[in-house]
């Protein structure tokens, strides 16, 4: 193996807080992958996938669930299964679906994005949802097709939507005759933060997508859950976009470990994020609202008279710490499996050193 010269000179990243997607599979996952019983899943014959999908349906309290390649494919297949070409998807202007998924539902499904302003806590104002969802006989308008929420909210910094708020949105959706889909990439973080089972959140939506590959630490995969007829439509769209996999029980085996062994430990990530936020709040140059640090994501702002995010991140990396940016002066750090409580002080020292110049 050749080593790039730049890699040899650069200090190794010791604490990687860019995302919870950088997690390595646990030893139990590697063991489960090794032992997994496999079959052709396009024929419905992979026993490990069938077990994972049944477990996911049970945990979310939905009739059925299906394994997909990624969160992006989960949202895409769900949106195409819910909406018809020319219909509007009502969603937040800071949502992952709108900002980071290549416009897939529009490009591939002919859906129109109708974005609503996102509040700092990740919610969308109820009156704006109601207005957007109202049926109209005006022939100028693209008819509404579905509503989407995101919990926890990525760009808002891992904020948690309350079940009461979600119930209110669900009532609006029902009154308008529209399905409500949840981008729940990190819905298990929300459940752990609220100290409720994930089904207590999922009960307020018609469908949801969640990632096995983020804080739950599996190497690959997401789940879409919902009613039986909806999941049958998702399977059809999944095949159409090339997501029909064969002996993917290799993936599902790690997913089962993720759902059975990796949920409760998310509270460790949340405690580490709170500790990091507390330390950052004590640095006068940094703008942060610790009350918004509710799960594994820490979002903070750099001072206007200091380095911008790109300069800050490059300097931080020289100290062995990696983070990512959410804007020109906004930084995101995500705690996860593999980051130890003892490393938070090291991260804070690195941040202080960089800001001291």
Ligand X SMILES: *Cc1c(COP(=O)(O)O)cnc(C)c1O
Residues that bind ligand X (CB under 6 A): 70-72, 75, 96, 150, 154, 183, 185, 211, 213, 222
Give the contacts of 347 (CB within 8 A, at least 6 positions apart): 15, 17, 276, 279, 321, 333
**Closer of 157 and 163 to ligand X (Cβ):** 157
**Closer of 213 and 335 to ligand X (Cβ):** 213
**Closer of 255 and 279 to ligand X (Cβ):** 255
**What tokens appear for 343 in the block?**
């490393």
Q: Scanning the structure block, which residue is given the tokens 């110049």?
A: 357
Closest contact distance (angstroms) between CB of 8 and ligand X is 30
**What tokens appear for 273 in the block?**
């994020």
**Closer of 72 and 207 to ligand X (Cβ):** 72
From the list 276, 272, 296, the residue with the least C-alpha distance to 286 is 276
Give the contacts of 30 (CB within 8 A, at least 6 positions apart): none
**What tokens appear for 91 in the block?**
């969603």
Closest contact distance (angstroms) between CB of 154 and ligand X is 4
**What tokens appear for 12 in the block?**
């190794």
**Closer of 158 and 279 to ligand X (Cβ):** 158
**Closer of 20 and 46 to ligand X (Cβ):** 20
**Closer of 148 and 286 to ligand X (Cβ):** 148
User: Rounded to an integer, what distance in angstroms lies between the CA atom of residue 84 and that of residue 87?
Assistant: 6
User: Rounded to an integer, what distance in angstroms lies between the CA atom of residue 263 and that of residue 217?
Assistant: 10
Closest contact distance (angstroms) between CB of 163 and ligand X is 18
User: Rounded to an integer, what distance in angstroms lies between the CA atom of residue 54 and that of residue 16?
Assistant: 33
In this structure, the chain runs to a length of: 357
**Closer of 71 and 163 to ligand X (Cβ):** 71
Closest contact distance (angstroms) between CB of 220 and ligand X is 9
Give the helix ranges, DSSP H, for the chain.
Answer: 5-9, 27-35, 47-60, 71-82, 96-100, 104-109, 126-133, 163-176, 187-194, 199-202, 228-240, 249-261, 266-281, 309-318, 343-355
SS3 183: strand
User: Rounded to an integer, what distance in angstroms lies between the CA atom of residue 275 and that of residue 345?
Assistant: 9
- What residue number has its CB nearest to ligand X? 71
Residue 117, judged by CB atoms within 10 A of its CB (0-12, 13-18, 19+), counts as exposed
**Closer of 65 and 211 to ligand X (Cβ):** 211
């Amino acid at each position: 193996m050749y080593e790039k010269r730049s890699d040899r000179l650069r200090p190794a990243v010791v604490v990687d807080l860019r995302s919870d997607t950088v997690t390595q599979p646990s030893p139990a996952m590697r063991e489960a992958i090794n032992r997994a019983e496999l079959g052709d899943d396009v024929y419905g014959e992979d026993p490990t996938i069938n077990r994972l999908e049944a477990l996911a349906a049970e945990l979310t309290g939905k009739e059925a669930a299906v394994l997909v390649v990624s969160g992006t494919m989960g949202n895409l297949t769900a949106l195409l299964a819910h909406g018809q070409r020319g219909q509007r998807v009502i969603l937040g202007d800071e949502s992952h679906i709108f900002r980071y998924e290549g416009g897939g539902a529009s490009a591939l499904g002919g859906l129109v994005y109708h974005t609503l302003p996102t509040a700092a806590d990740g919610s969308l104002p109820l009156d704006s949802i109601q207005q957007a969802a109202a049926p109209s006989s005006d022939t100028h308008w693209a008819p509404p097709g579905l509503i989407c929420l995101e919990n926890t909210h990525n760009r808002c910094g891992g904020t948690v939507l309350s079940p009461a708020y979600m119930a209110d949105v669900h009532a609006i959706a029902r009154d308008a005759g529209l399905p409500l889909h949840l981008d729940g990439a990190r819905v298990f973080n929300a459940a752990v933060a609220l100290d409720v089972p994930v089904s207590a959140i999922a009960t307020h939506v018609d469908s949801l997508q969640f990632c096995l590959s983020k804080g739950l630490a599996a190497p690959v995969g997401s789940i879409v859950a919902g009613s039986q007829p909806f999941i049958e439509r998702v399977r059809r769209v999944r095949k159409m976009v090339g997501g029909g996999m064969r002996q993917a029980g290799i993936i599902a085996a790690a997913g089962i470990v993720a759902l059975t062994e990796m949920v409760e430990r998310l509270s460790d990530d949340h405690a580490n994020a709170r500790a990091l936020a507390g330390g950052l709040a004590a640095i006068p140059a940094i703008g942060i609202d610790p009350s918004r640090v509710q799960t594994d994501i820490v979002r903070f702002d750099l001072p206007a008279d200091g380095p911008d995010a790109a300069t800050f991140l490059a300097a931080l990396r020289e100290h062995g710490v990696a983070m990512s940016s959410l804007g020109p002066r906004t930084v995101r750090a995500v705690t996860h499996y593999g980051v130890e409580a003892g490393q938070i002080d090291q991260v804070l020292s690195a941040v202080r050193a960089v800001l001291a110049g």
